[in-house]
Amino acid sequence: MKRSYLELEDKIGYAFKNKELLKNALIHRSFGNEHAKYRKLNNERLELLGDAVLDLIVTEYLYKSYPNALEGDLAKLKAMVVSEPVLARISKSLDFGQYLMLSKGEELTGGRERNSILGDVFEAILGAIYLDSDFIVAKDIAMKFLKYPIEHINENEDILDFKTILQEYSQKEYKIIPTYQVVSEAGPDHLKVFEVVAVIKDDLKGYGKGKNKKSAEQSAAKDICKKLGVKLYETL
């Protein structure tokens, strides 16, 4: 275990003075179901702290980096940067999953690769770093992994709300709101596939498919956005 911690610290780029903080950051609440000693000891408190620290780190970075951006744009961008998919992707790149202390049941159901767990553990480890050092160190570590996702936010299609992006663009450019219509519905109830068309004007349409109407509409909105070359934030 000590060797594993050293490997993990090397990946993070930070050596803990208090190794117990790192250990606590890796204990999922399910572990306590099978180990009485850990019934009340898990990473949720550190996750709460790390979430607050991360929020300030990202907000400060965006505020300083994009002086011309409006408050609403900064708020939406911050929400996407600190979202589960982004944080989970970072955790996967650092192999955080292999160091987690999980219950057997959680492990058998894919807990080491689950985005919700991996997003939480990133925040827990950041909270642990903050307690073990200070805000400046925590910020330097966090931004080492977050700077690229921030600067390439338009490429993170899994976290973009294309319907909102398209609506704002359409209102600004054409003074109208896009409409959506289901054009086909196929498959049994548990495996439905919906096809939706999004329309701004008669000659400007986008098509998308999904397991439900909402995901199909997102896909259709994305199709139009790509056809128009719409960027998330023109001011960033």
Q: Is 60 annotated as a binding residue?
A: no
| Catalytic residue selected from 84, 95, 123, 155 | 123
Both tokens of residue 229?
């070359």
Q: Which of 71, 159, 155 is nearest to 115 (CA)?
A: 159
Q: Is 195 annotated as a binding residue?
A: no
- C-alpha–C-alpha distance, residues 10 and 4, integer Å: 10
Residues 6+ apart with CB under 8 A from 201: 174, 176
- C-alpha–C-alpha distance, residues 191 and 213, integer Å: 13
> What is the crossing angle of helices 135-151 and 115-132, to 10°?
140
In the residue annotation, 123 being an active-site residue is answered as yes
Q: Which of 184, 186, 178, 185 is nearest to 206 (CA)?
A: 178
Q: Which of 73, 71, 59 is nearest to 164 (CA)?
A: 73
Q: Is 120 annotated as a binding residue?
A: yes
Q: Under a CB-based contact definition with an 8 Å cutoff, are residues 22 and 4 in contact?
A: no
Q: Which of 29, 30, 9 is nearest to 19 (CA)?
A: 9
| Catalytic residue selected from 7, 10, 34, 51 | 51
In the residue annotation, 51 being an active-site residue is answered as yes
Residue positions in the annotated binding site for Mg(2+)? 47, 120, 123
Residues labelled as active-site residues: 51, 123
Binding residues: 47, 120, 123
